[in-house]
Amino acid sequence: MATPVVLVEYPADGVALVRINRPDARNALNLEVRKSLVKALADAADANNIRAIVLTGNEKSFAAGADIKEMAGAGAIEHMLRGTDKLWRLISSCPKPVIAAVSGFALGGGCELAMTCDIIIAGESARFGQPEVKIGIIPGGGGTQRLTRAVGKYKAMKICLTGDLFGAKEAFDMGLVSEVVADAEVEKRAVEMAKQIAELAPLAVQQIKEVVLAGQDASLDAALRLETKAIQVMFASQDQKEGMAAFIEKRKPKFQGR
Q: Reduced to 3 states, what is the DSSP secondary structure of residue 225?
A: helix
- Nearest CA to 27 among 42, 37, 39, 16? 37
**Choice among 104, 108, 109, 243 that is catalytic:** 109
**Choice among 112, 141, 198, 243 that is catalytic:** 112
Asked whether 99 and 121 are in contact (CB, 8 A), the reply is yes
3-state secondary structure 102-160: ECCEEECHHHHHHHCCCEEEEECCCEEECHHHHHCCCCCCCCCCHHHHHHCHHHHHHHH
Residue 132 catalytic?
A: yes
Residue 16 catalytic?
A: no
Which residues have C-beta within 8 Å of that of residue 38, sequence separation ≥ 6?
Answer: 87, 90, 91
* Phi, psi (deg, nearest 5) at residue 22: -130, 60
Residue 249 catalytic?
A: no
Q: How far apart are CA 244 and CA 84, in angstroms?
A: 44
**Choice among 126, 132, 143, 156 that is catalytic:** 132
Residue 66 catalytic?
A: yes
**Choice among 66, 168, 171, 190 that is catalytic:** 66
**Residues with catalytic roles:** 66, 109, 112, 132
